[in-house]
Every structure is written in C-alpha cells, then in structure tokens.
Amino acid sequence: MAKRGRPLIFNIRRFALDDGPGIRTTVFMKGCPLSCIWCHNPESVSPAAEVAFYEDRCIGCGTCREVCPEGAVSATSGSERINRERCTACGVCTEECPSTALSVIGRECEVDELVERLLEERIFYETSGGGVTFSGGEPTLFMDYTAEVMHRLKSEGIHVAIQTSGMFNLREFSDKLLPHTDLIFFDLKLIDSDRHRDFTGRDNDLILENFRHLAMNASIPVVPRIPLVPGMTATKQNLADTAAFLRETGCRSAVLLPYNPGGILKAKAVGRSPHPSLPDRMPPVGEEEELKAFFLDRLSGRCAKAMEKRPAQDINPSTGFHFCSDRRTQGGA
C-alpha cells in the first residue's frame, strides 16, 4: 500500500494551533488512498503535481497563454482555464504569472531541506509545547520518507503528531512510524461500511481494525476525529454508531470537526467539480451543537463540559483528551 520515494509536499503550515498541542507546523503531503467527496483539501488527493488557478487574483494579462508550452491554457474563466488533459504541471505559467493567480500544487522536498525548515520553527514549539504534525493527503502513503523525517525530528526532541485516514498497513505503520510518533489523530468518517464506500471510495474494515488495535494497544494517545459533513457523516445514526464503536475500543473522547465548505473553492482551483450535494456554507451553529451534544451523550456523560472549549491549549497528551475543534480550516492554503 505504501509508496516508495518522495511524496510531494503541498503545504507547510506554520503557527498551526488545531493540529495538536501548542504552536505547531503541519506538513501536508500529497496523495490519499481515499477520495472523500467532502475532502476539504481536494488538491491533496492526487499524488501528482497540479496547477491551481485562483481566479480572484487574475489580472487578465494573458501571460499564461503566451508561455504555456503545451497550449493548455485558454482564456476561459473558472476551472475551464486549464485543460487538465494537456497540462503537465511544468510550472512555466506559474513562474510567469505576475499576480500569483497560478501556482503549482505539490513540490518535492529533500528530507534534509524539510527537516531544516521544520526546525527553523523550533522556538515556537519549545515556547508553547508544540511540535510538528504530518497531515495530507495521507502521510502514511510514503511511509519511508515520513519515517525518516519523523525520526530526525524526534532525535531533536520535537513532539511529532500524525493525522491519518487510518488506511495503512498496520505492521508497517507500527514498525516505521509509531516509534517516532507522540500523538495520532485518527479519522473515523463513517461506521456503516456501505456508506463509507459510497462516500470515500473505499471499504472501512481496515480503518476500523487499525483504529481498534492502536486505541487499545498503542502507548501514545490516539484521538479519533469525526468530520461533521451535513447529511453524510453528521447524522445521528453515524454518530451513534461511532460512539458505540469508540466505547467498544475503550475510547472515551473524540474531536468533532465542524463542516468547512472551503474545499469547494479549492476543488474548483484544481479543476475538479465539487460533489453537487455538498453544502456550500456552514450549517447553523445550533445544528452542529445539537449533534455534538447528542454524540457526547452517547459517548459519555462526563465529556459534556469539556467539549465546549476550544481544545488546542487545554489538551494534555499524556492523559488523553476531551475536545472538539472549532470552525477553523483543517487543511492547506
């Protein structure tokens, strides 16, 4: 399942507060085994480089058309601007575009260079009890690369977290990544396997099995995260199922990620049409609150109070967490 070689990095977000304790840097890797229709980092799904077009920044100078060696750029607006069949993501247009309306998503990065960049932020980690979080896409996709970067960071004493879809080979994960990881954010999207297949394109057997194993055996905290996508994951049925599943694994807390429609724009930028049933705005606060309360109730009465606060500062990785995230974007630029 895991790929060899170097992944493309599509974002290194500094001052990340919602990806673990303290002030962190989050590394976003390109490529994901799932293709969730609500993905808020749609530019992360394909492991290959892509050119994104941000129409709001375009000044209409036409330079991109002039310079494209493949003739892949047209004068049309929106996601039609780049002919994705022809585009090789060579990056010539993005170099020449004067207003950063075009940019290449995904760049190779040597381990040394990445580690160096991550360590530049070290003072932020040390001052705040933060560290580095690997996200994606799916950071376990390039297990060897990720393992080496993590290893280098751990040997510098940096706290390392990972955000995963859970779609990985458990043995390889346990051998290569787990020893360098301090904290796992584990996405649980849907418990019903049919619905999971429908919405993400893959079965969830492996995911649930991996979660069960890690939650019960790993010596580090494993925090389940449930994205609240209206009508898809944010249903009482799914939340009840998830709570039951978590209780079964002895897990008494979880992060609920509020729905963020930001993915829709980003999907358009890389020429994908967003799923028509995805809401383009955030649901009313009350609705999400109600679902959260329902979920908490099912999971454990004790959690209710802690769920009201934003978590980033309050969690203590050594004792487990009770928190949910706020409305902040969970993904890349």
Partner 1 sequence: MSKVTLKDIRLREYTLENLGLLGRLRKDLMRTRPEVCIERARHTTRYLRDLSSDDEPMETRYAKAVAYFLSKKAPLFFDDNLLAGTTTSKPFGAPVYQELTGMTIWPELDTISTRGKNPLILSREDAEELNFEIFPYWMERNILEYTRKKHNNPGCMRLFERIVFFLASKAGTISHTVPDYRKVLAKGIEGIIEEAAAREEDVRRKGADTPDNRHSIEFYQAVQIVMKGVLEYAANLSRRAEELAAAETDPARRENLLRMSETCARVPAKPARTFREALNSLWICQVAVHAENINMAMSPGRLDQVLYDYYRRDIDSGTLTVGEAIELVGCLWLKLNDNTNLVPETSEELFGGAGTVPAVTVGGVDENGEDAVNDLTYIMLRVTELLKLRDPSVNARYHYEKNTEEYRDRVAEVIVNTKAVPAFHNDVVDIKVLENQGTSTEHARDYAVIGCVELASAGRSYDASSSIIFNLVSALELAMYNGKRPATGDEQIGPQTGDPAGFSTFEEFWEAFKTQLKWLIGEAIKLNEYFGRAHQEMLPTPLLSAFFEGPMEKGRDLIRGGALYNSSGATHIGFADTVDSLSAIEKAVFMDRKCTFAELLTALRDDFRGHEKLHAYLVYKTPKYGTDDPIAVKNSRNLIRFLYDFYQGHTNYRGGRYRPGYWTMTNHAGQGKLSGALPNGRKAHKVFASGITPASQAAGDLSACLKAVGGLDGLCIPSGEALNLKYPHVNGNGDIKTFAQAVESYFRYGGLHVQFNIMSYEELIDAKKNPEKYPELLVRVSGYSAYFKDLNEAMKDEIITRTAYDLGTGRAVPFPEEYRSMLAYE
Q: Which is nearer to partner 1, 232 or 315 (CB)?
A: 315
How many CB atoms within 10 Å of residue 184?
A: 22
CA distance 23 to 293: 28
54 sits near partner 1 (criterion: CB under 8 A): no
CA distance 244 to 252: 10
Contact between 24 and 130 (Cβ < 8 Å): yes
119 sits near partner 1 (criterion: CB under 8 A): no
Tokens of 260: 């963020």
Q: Which is nearer to partner 1, 298 or 310 (CB)?
A: 310
Least distance CB 22 / partner 1 (angstroms): 7
The one among 1, 48, 59, 216 contacting partner 1 by CB under 8 A: 59
Q: Which is nearer to partner 1, 13 or 212 (CB)?
A: 13
Beta-bridge partner residues of 53 = 102
99 sits near partner 1 (criterion: CB under 8 A): yes
Least distance CB 126 / partner 1 (angstroms): 8
Task: Look at phi and psi of residue 166 and say left if phi exceeds 0, alpha if psi is from -120 to 50, else beta.
Answer: left
Contact between 193 and 204 (Cβ < 8 Å): yes
Parallel, antiparallel, or unpaired for β 102-105 and 8-16?
unpaired
- Tell me which stretch binds partner 1 (CB under 8 A): 198-206, 216-224, 260-268, 321-329: 321-329
- Tell me which stretch binds partner 1 (CB under 8 A): 41-49, 125-133, 146-154, 167-175: 125-133
Tokens of 15: 């001052």
100 sits near partner 1 (criterion: CB under 8 A): yes
Count of residues making up the chain: 333
The one among 63, 163, 164, 204 contacting partner 1 by CB under 8 A: 63
127 sits near partner 1 (criterion: CB under 8 A): yes
**Total number of residues binding partner 1 (CB under 8 A)?**
30
Least distance CB 35 / partner 1 (angstroms): 26
CA distance 256 to 228: 7
91 sits near partner 1 (criterion: CB under 8 A): no
CA distance 245 to 41: 27
Q: Which is nearer to partner 1, 235 or 329 (CB)?
A: 329
Q: Where are the beta strands (DSSP E) in the chain?
A: 8-16, 24-29, 50-53, 102-105, 107-108, 131-136, 159-164, 183-187, 222-227, 255-257
312 sits near partner 1 (criterion: CB under 8 A): yes
Question: Phi and psi of 33, rounded to 5°?
Answer: -70, -25
Least distance CB 229 / partner 1 (angstroms): 21
215 sits near partner 1 (criterion: CB under 8 A): no
Residues 14 to 43: which contact partner 1 by CB under 8 A? 14-18, 22-23
Residues contributing to the site for partner 1 (CB under 8 A): 13-18, 22-23, 57, 59, 61, 63, 98-100, 120-121, 123-124, 126-128, 309-310, 312-314, 326, 328-329
